[in-house]
Structure 1
């Protein structure tokens, strides 16, 4: 059955998309899309897009949350400004404010270590492991047993893959667990900040312009990958040398123009287009409004606690930026769902599918929607409780203490039996995350956020909360928590990674005491979640097998939801009409000057303004526009995680970076609509102009082969 399903999925994915520009395609699907791609304007052999050993796909990289690509043989990596923002923040302090002023290394020696835990992952393989994941799995297993068996299978696959030095491997579910692929990547541990323009370019417009059009943001920045002198991946060392990638993207000598074919390649995070109508309804009626409000309160609390304190403002800059981004996105999702009638669309599509199931008793037995419906209702309520209680994780020392105590407990087990996230492969990233706290933590701010989180935590049902944790908080009190803890010191914090459970349990550090008190309930909740996950995987994978069969019967394509694995998407450069307005596909330098106020979010560097007013664009002028383009729109299909994805022209050359969508289109995470779905890219010509004329980054331009 598993082998048949895998073949059926491959066959189904070979059909042509209902909406050609919809879908986040797996590289292996390119042969079946060849005719469509060529008809749309691709000038490469489509088969090259499916070969992870050749350019352009093997030049694409992941940052573990953003996408990126190599642009030189010296390991230079281009991504979004907001993707390197954490490293800019980490290296900033009062008197050295790279967030505002930007950063440019004069030479290799001047390139700065990125924030601890920063990685560049180089894609090497993406292979089907469905059969291996299903070994020993049957309908006779309980939810918990099913989860544990599949988790053991997953760990075995990952362990075998990671026997190759310096590889990071992961197994991801497709179609609700109907299919599984293993993604293999080279993990580069020494990442350095090379260049980021001033905040007045990289973040021009700030939250006011976020998710909006027209846009005038130069959202780009550069890292470099470093390795040991023998070419192997190694942590930071002064003797390390630039990594030499197998391929890198050629920067196009000409930019794009309206109606040009473009592609985006990257690692989109998560979409929810294949969930049930009940899940979508719960999300928009209940969950998203709560999440948006939580983020709104979180952002406001940080602003209040850091007001008038330059050091605290810098330390929490990347945290508040992330919160502001998502709270606005949630507003857009809710408005977009209403605009396109998402609930009605989902219900109508689902009704058609379920009628097809009900028409055949054999199908009803195989795909059984009722089993999934019952579990979804339980999971929805659990998710709502978890999102409120999870706000406690905003207290960084509490989160660190709980993580440290869990490490001490897991280390009592053989590595293969430890929980994911607490194996030997996870130790270095954990150490680096614990280290990064030192430049993102201020006690008074953390306390304010902890107090706010407790208010939200107590809104969860009493039976879901942890009485031992609440009692210990009441016993210790906030004053003692922050006065008596030593976890604010990095060396002390890291030392706890080597301590035993008995040492934790004997500790007088108040945050360690909270971690110990909360552990039993944390483990109990985790066990409940695992059992539910096992049941959901069984029910959802069956339901999705039915959906695949239904789509095949209708001659439709059903591509998998995004899940953090390598994908590509394609479309064209175009604007759109919006309620009496016409959104042209390009914004220009003159538009940036028109927005310039010299204050707050609209404060581009004076040098850039002077150059634009003088129309000093040099070779970077777009002939069709007669001026310097800043950003452009296209119909490519992206989501979170695609930030930093390289935009390629019909020849596979670099022409920009995807960095955003429009607010009315962010509902595409749940339902694609070609009338509203648009992606915003920073134009490579604006990037190159900024590097050349504004910041004097000729060293990098020469390295990229454009000077």
Structure 2
């Protein structure tokens, strides 16, 4: 007979299970499993497609219009001539690489008015997914339970290579096999990668980055965050290295673009390559993020961004050199701030602890569960306590402060060369390292300004000395700083004044000597000495413990997640993002970020005009855009005298989803995902349906800029436009919502 205490326990477990269910808007789902897991939910929310319309290996489907762009973003094919749409910030590095003070495409924008003007981008790729396959049995079938983690990983990697080879033999395809649920399952993605990707168009920064770092991660948003590229293929329509003879790629599918627009409650689907989430971390890991790791990284990057900003504003050449670097540093910096705030507001650590209490109660009900799962939570506690004892801090400061100095980061390759020569490595290997360093020098120095880097060196290493426990600091570094008695400027001048790595000419001069002479020069070089001491200490004092504990935690997470899935059998679990193709779905929806504040679901060009401030570079508005606004010259893209710019929805997204298409219920493009709201950045760790929103460029604003602003209507003619924008949605007011408050940097 079940007593009252047991009833209470089961009630708590049931409540915890219900709390743990992924809401319809939450999750990054595997395309091949949509039929069995998600199709019904998606159709209840309004989708008119089938799962096979989204992902199919037997016919063309939406997946055939989605690419992984450059390895870190997503792009979508929007014409039958290989035209590719992604974010401006995703194409930023390529736009910068073609820019100079004389031809400043960052500031002025770029538009190819014919195919001959489209600009090649060596090294840039676009990767399609040909098919997915569950290969868990092939990867884990001969891996016995209880095998030590290192041996298990060795066996798994051998199986992965075997399966990849079998899947791609005799084809031009590639194959990626990734672990899911911390290695409980494995899936293979067979890929087709194109290598000839050319820049077609990009708006000026005043449109593509409107709002800049001030508005980054914020809503309301008015950023025209897009750029256009084109995929080229060989005569057989297959991937080929760049050649003037290549032809525009003919895709299996391209996305039609809807002119009908959006209204609140509309179904939305984001299809792309989300980078990394960690939704199933234990409470100790979340506490480490909120209390140790994020605060340290934010502190370092705050200093770095301040110094970069000063020099970029003072010199146009430095601005171009460091534009992409600054954007990258700033993006994560602001995200971490929002993440900390969001996790604290959600009381995430407490929520995780509540789930762990339920898990412990469930484990203690049966001996077999105790044997399998009984040590998971206590071991988590022990491991994270060790990490909190300086290891995590030392690791973050090495990566952010030490390697945040470009001279030191660059010197790593020369330190490796010195080590190879000293250890009598084979001559061929030594010469190959010399060749790589020679070849890489022009690219490094093109975007390097020594006076700026000296400021970073002085400031960041001072932070390192102050904040990292002495146990984890190199003895050579400690003695050097003691010798200079706190005079960091003198220390900096000494290093930069004597290093041979400060100019491309000096680097080439050193590398042109015979190996024995190279070794003498590098052994006496203060930058090489310094990075060697940092790396040596990091590898001996920090990395072994960090790696060991991380490996243990990976195994514990695998076991913990296995137990959660066993405990909550009615729950639909989605795997953490790992840069593989995923689908998330939700709906167009506003939100309340704080008490007394309500945000609408869309913004318009009127908000751009309201935000204009000539004293703040982030809020500069081009004269041509103001002229179009004043004339209300919006063409077929406007709605009742307004020009939609951006909108928000409840899709679960993360980094890597930048550039992802936002698709409506009919499978048409309605927008391009480019950001999340600041209040929702904690969604990489814990999703909150009330506050998590993805921010997307309205497809109509993209078309308006290409056609009316840039005068590149020939590109619009390539696209398939559907629907009409003859009347405003019922929920769209005539006046745009108030813009975000302006912030002075």
TM-score, normalising length from structure 2?
A: 0.82
Question: Among 399, 402, 413, which residue is 2:409 paired with?
Answer: 399
In structure 2, how many angstroms separate the alpha carbons of the residues matched to 1:225 and 1:634? 29
| 1:143 Cα deviation from its structure 2 partner | 4.8
In structure 1, distance between residues paired with 2:387 and 2:286: 13
Q: What do residues 605-658 of structure 1 show as CA deviations (whole Å, max 9, x unaligned)?
A: 111111112111111123xx6522111111111111111111111111111101
Give deviations 1:221-251, integer Å, cap 9, x for gaps: 1122234455453444444433333322122
Unmatched 5+ stretches in structure 1: 1-15, 419-423
Relative distance call for 1:355 and 1:427 in structure 2 (3 A) is farther
**Counterparts in 2 of 1:533 and 1:153: CA distance versus 1, 3 Å:** farther
User: Which of 18, 23, 26 is the equivalent residue of 1:19?
Assistant: 23
Distance 1:451 1:241 in 2: 51
| Other-structure match for 2:392 | 383
Matched, 1:112 2:119: yes
Q: Are 1:257 and 2:263 counterparts?
A: yes
Aligned to 1:508: 522
Q: Distance in 1 between matches of 2:286 and 2:212?
A: 30
Q: Could you tell me which of 544, 554, 574 is aligned with 1:537?
A: 554
Q: 1:289 aligns with which of 269, 287, 295?
A: 295
CA contact under 8 A between 2:292 and 2:392: conserved in structure 1?
Answer: no
Structure 2 distance, partners of 1:164, 1:495, is 46
Which deviates more from structure 2 when the two are superposed, residues 65-74 or residues 135-144?
135-144
Deviations, residues 558-588 of structure 1 (Å, cap 9, x unaligned): 2112121111111111212442233221211
- Alignment deviations for residues 114-140 of structure 1 (CA, whole Å, 9 cap, x no partner): 3x5433222223333334444765566
Match of 1:446 in 2: 453
Alignment partner, residue 102 of structure 2: 95
Q: 1:85-110 CA distances to partner (integer Å, 9 max, x unpaired)? A: 12222222223222221111122221
CA distance in 1, matches of 2:434, 2:706: 38
Do structure 1's residue 50 and structure 2's residue 65 form an aligned pair?
no
User: Is residue 173–residue 180 contact of structure 1 (8 Å, CA) maintained in 2?
Assistant: yes
Are the equivalent residues in 2 in contact too, given 1:142–1:531 (CA < 8 A)? no
Partner Cα separation in structure 2 for residue 433 and residue 259 of structure 1:
51
Equivalent-residue separation in structure 1 for 2:611 and 2:448 (angstroms): 34
The residue correspondences of 1:173-192 to structure 2 (distance < 5 A) are: 173-192=179-198
Between the aligned partners of 1:320 and 1:239, the Cα distance in structure 2 is: 37
CA contact (8 A) 1:145 1:531 kept: no
Alpha carbons 1:177, 1:540 under 8 Å: kept: no
Change (3 A) 1:650 1:457: same
Q: Is the 8 A contact 2:511 2:518 kept in 1?
A: no
SS where residue 208 of structure 1 aligns? helix
Of the three residues 606, 629, 633, the one matched with 2:644 is 629
Q: How does 1:129-528 map to 2 (within 5 A)?
A: 129-134=135-140, 137=143, 142-154=148-160, 167-229=173-235, 231-367=237-373, 368-369=375-376, 370-380=378-388, 381-390=390-399, 391-403=401-413, 406=416, 436-458=443-465, 459-467=467-475, 478-479=492-493, 481-483=495-497, 487=501, 505-508=519-522, 510=525, 511-512=527-528, 520-521=536-537, 523-524=539-540, 526-528=543-545
Tell me if the contact between 1:372 and 1:539 (Cα under 8 Å) persists in the aligned partners: yes
Deviations 1:398-454 (A, max 9, x none): 32342466589899999xxx9xxxxx9x99999998764343211222222233332
* Aligned counterparts of 1:678 and 1:465: Cα–Cα separation in 2: 42
Among 92, 107, 116, the residue aligned to 1:85:
92
1:595 aligns with 2:605: no
The verdict on how the C-alpha distance between 1:548 and 1:451 changes in structure 2, with shifts beyond 3 A counting, is same
Partner of 1:8: none
2: distance between equivalents of 1:158 and 1:410?
A: 33
Offset of residue 187 of structure 1? 2.7
Counterpart secondary structure, 2:448: coil
- Contact kept, 8 Å, 1:55 with 1:248, in 2: the verdict is no
Deviates more, 1:663-672 or 1:465-474: 465-474
Task: Sort the Cα spacing of 1:656 and 1:530 in 2 relative to 1 into closer, same or farther, 3 A.
Answer: same
User: Which one of the candidate residues 580, 589, 608 is aligned to 1:574?
Assistant: 589
Tell me which residue corresponds to 1:13.
none
Give the whole-Å Cα distance in 1 for the aligned partners of 2:277 and 2:608: 33
1:647 alignment partner, SS class: strand
Cα distance in 2 for partners of 1:428, 1:564 equals 32
Among residues 567, 575, 600, which one is paired with 1:584 in the alignment?
A: 600
Separation in 1, partners of 2:266, 2:511: 53
- 1:181 CA drift (Å): 2.3
Is 1:639 the counterpart of 2:654? The answer is yes
Matched, 1:61 2:71: no
Q: Which residue of 2 aligns with 1:652?
A: 667
Alpha carbons 1:31, 1:50 under 8 Å: kept:
no
Aligned length: 678
* Partner SS for 1:83: coil
Moved more, 396-405 or 694-703: 396-405
Deviation, 1:331, is 1.9
Give the structure 2 partner of residue 690 of structure 1: 705
Q: 1:245 to 1:472 in 2, by over 3 A?
A: farther
CA distance in 1, matches of 2:679, 2:476: 44
Higher mean C-alpha deviation, range 280-289 or range 642-651: 280-289
Seen in structure 2, the aligned counterparts of structure 1 residues 57 and 430 have a Cα distance that, compared at 3 Å, is farther
Deviations along 1:535-558, one digit per CA (max 9) or x if unpaired, are 333222111111111121xx2122
| 1:547 corresponding residue in structure 2 | 564
Q: Which runs of 5+ in 2 are unaligned?
A: 1-19, 485-489, 723-745
The Cα shift of 1:463 comes to 3.0
- Taking the aligned partners of 1:431 and 1:259, their CA distance within structure 2 comes to 57
Is the contact made by 2:55 and 2:62 (CA closer than 8 Å) also made in structure 1? Answer: no
From the superposition, tell whether residues 230 and 447 of structure 1 become closer, same or farther in structure 2 (CA, over 3 Å).
Answer: farther
- State whether residues 135 and 153 of structure 1, in contact with CA within 8 Å, keep that contact through their aligned partners in structure 2: no
Stretch moving more, 194-203 or 518-527: 518-527
Name the SS of the counterpart of 2:128 in structure 1: strand
How big is each residue's C-alpha offset from its partner over 1:313-340, in whole Å with a ceiling of 9 and x where there is no partner?
1111111122222222222222222322
Query: How many angstroms apart in 1 are the aligned matches of 2:82 and 2:510?
Result: 36
Give the structure with higher Rg (CA): 2
Q: Given the superposition, is the C-alpha separation of residues 469 and 547 from structure 1 closer, same or farther in structure 2, using an over 3 Å criterion?
A: same
CA distance in 2, matches of 1:139, 1:689: 59
| Secondary structure of 1:672 counterpart | coil
Q: TM-score, normalised by structure 1?
A: 0.86
Q: Is the 8 A contact 1:145 1:534 kept in 2?
A: no
What is the distance in 1 between the residues matched to 2:563 and 2:143?
19
Equivalent residues in 2 for 1:1-20, closer than 5 Å:
18-20=22-24
State the shift of 1:698 in Å. Answer: 1.2
Is the 1:404–1:497 Cα contact (8 Å) retained in structure 2?
no
